[in-house]
Amino acid sequence: MQFQSLNIIEPILKAVQEEGYVTPTPIQAQSIPIILKGTDLLGCAQTGTGKTAAFAIPILQLLSENKNYARKRKIRSLIITPTRELAIQIDESFKSYGRHTSLKSTVIFGGVNQNPQTTTLNNGIDILIATPGRLLDLINQGYISLRDVEIFVLDEADRMLDMGFIHDVKKIIALLPSKRQSLFFSATMPGEIVKLSNSILSSNALKVSVTPVSSTVDIIKQFIYFVDKGNKSALLIDILKDKDIKTALVFTRTKHGADKVVKMLLKENIKAEAIHGNKAQNARQRALTNFKDQTTRILVATDIAARGIDVDDLEYVINFEMSNIPETYVHRIGRTGRAGAKGTAISFCDAEEKAYLRDIEKLISKKIPIIDEHPYPLIDHNPVKVPKQQRPPRNFNRPLSTNNMSNKHRMNYGRMAR
């Protein structure tokens, strides 16, 4: 199937082709015809499956075909999403696919001066992409009215729940017209999210479910390093000696942990930046831009901040700390191996994190291969040897030279050897 067979109008089809897309992903192929019919949709799909285009393309088409002749543009479609980074990327998608239409979109989010955002809103827009807090703030100030919204999208609903935005989401929904088309997307469907979807969608809503959790990780090479917590920094530095790792996205569980990893890497002359909720919006965008441009080699991120990061040809994800939520592990490693590209996920697991690993392996229905031959192993586990040809970069079979180690790392290596 090609995009041409989905009855997409010429201006949007031209933009899609200019972006280099010919064949729709499964969620696009299934969702676009449903949305074009005006039907409500429940989409169960992971990040990285192409779901943004799955709703952006038909929304642009529906709004283009149903012209609004009001003197000032009114907000006819609202997309709410949990993070600033994801909101920005969704707006970029609308601008890319809608470049040959006359429709205007904008994005609003907190953490920055609201004046440029309110100026754009006052000039009139058709499509608004927003994070919940800033949206409610500007509604309360009188800058935004939702009474003309025809199509509403709730994206990453499960992450909204994780981040404590559900009450804000419910307030927003209460302000929407009852007569509207609603599109609801979530990677997972816990009970609270099922309840929320039932309150948003009409009874005739259709469900599209693609790429089950267990199969999203099949194309990504995954490896576990059992390592003492105190030796994780030394192991990370050693792995990053491999020059084939041009860039890597490193995950920690906390903001403080992310800053510590960056500080440690900078001491070793490895260019690194952190991206998390305590960083100003312009600092986060700058760090992401530097990473995409490969002027920053390592981007260290927390789970919430990383949601929505979309970097072309990102080949390596390193879990410096294991995720305590199995689904989050899948989201983390899903930053790599996109669109058929190569992907490698390396995870450091200390003794306290073994329970997290068991939960992850249960979720993805597979055992993650263990790399046992490295300078900092845990002793109390039963390794499953990984054939040499299947190992990630760096061959730890040879003794590790201590000549280039810092004193701290040399001492750790000496303790391990004893």
Pairing between strand 105-108 and 127-130? parallel
Q: Are 40 and 199 in contact (CB under 8 A)?
A: no
Spatial CB neighbours of 293, under 8 Å, sequence gap ≥ 6: none
Residue 384 pLDDT more than 90? no
| DSSP 8-state class, residue 39 | -
* Tally of CB atoms within 10 A around 85: 23
All structural domains of the chain with their residue ranges: 3-211, 214-417
* Predicted local confidence at residue 373, as pLDDT: 84
Residue 74 pLDDT more than 70? yes
Q: In the chain, what's the furthest Cα-to-Cα distance?
A: 79
pLDDT in tens, 1-45: 688 889 999 999 999 988 878 888 888 999 999 999 999 999 987
Residue 225 pLDDT more than 50? yes
Q: In the CATH scheme, what is the code of domain 3-211? A: 3.40.50.300
pLDDT in tens, 119-169: 999 999 999 999 999 999 999 999 999 999 999 999 989 888 878 888 999
Report domain 214-417's class.
alpha beta
Q: Please tell me if the domain spanning 3-211 has the same topology as the one spanning 214-417.
A: yes
- The model's pTM is 0.60
